[in-house]
Structure formats: C-alpha cells, structure tokens
Structure 1
Amino acid sequence: MPRTKEILLSVETLQERMKIPAEIHAGTCARQGWARGKKVTEKEYAESVKQFRQSAGRRRYA
C-alpha cells in the first residue's frame, strides 16, 4: 500500500489557518529555528506550537 505524501505548507500559512496568535507563532519559530517561509507539515507545526505552549513560563497560553 503506497504511503500518502504529507503536504508541506509555510509556517505563516499554518499560523493563519490554525489562528495562532503572533507571539505564540514567533516563539515557536524561534524555538525551532524556523525562518520566515519555512515549510513544514501541519502535524509538525501543531506539535511544535503545543510544545512551546507547554514550555516553562508559557502555561498561560495552553
């Protein structure tokens, strides 16, 4: 059975689609070392945002 190819989208597109606040998006990108225009899967972006929100000092965004 062939594997389905995961779609890569820019982090800015995913931010908009998932309605992630600018400060959370910026922190996530900084933590991951992602530059503007970086393309990732929706799953990777969502997991990275979740990890950022759970990191020390960011519990208020959970």
Structure 2
Amino acid sequence: MTTDFKRHIGDGEVFHVFIFQELAIEFIDKKLLENCNLEFNIYNGKGDFLFTKDKNEKRLMA
C-alpha cells in the first residue's frame, strides 16, 4: 500500500517516516479509527522490525 493508502503497483511512496516513535503511534491510532482493518509494521531507522500495531494491540512478531 502506498502512503496515500492506495494499492502499490510500483509507483508512489510506501513508507511514512517519523522522527519520533510516539508520532508514528499517534498517526497509526488516528488511521485505525478511520479504518480498523489496517495493520501497521514499525521499523527503526536501521530497518530493523520493532512491532506491528492493529485494532487489537501492539505486538512483536516472532
């Protein structure tokens, strides 16, 4: 999915970049209120996976 929430077909940005993790979580919470079927994966600046957040909770993936 692109950053404007359209299907990614090779064009468009696919990552939102935030300076602080708290800002990313605020953005995610707002988007989940708009559409509870979304799921977000959070990575740090090095590209390491941190967690997934959806309507149910924030969770780590094994």
TM-score by length of 1: 0.34
| Structure 1 or 2: more helix by fraction | 1
Whose Rg is larger?
1
| Structure 1 or 2: more strand by fraction | 2
Q: Which has the higher contact order (CA 8 A, sep 6+)?
A: 1
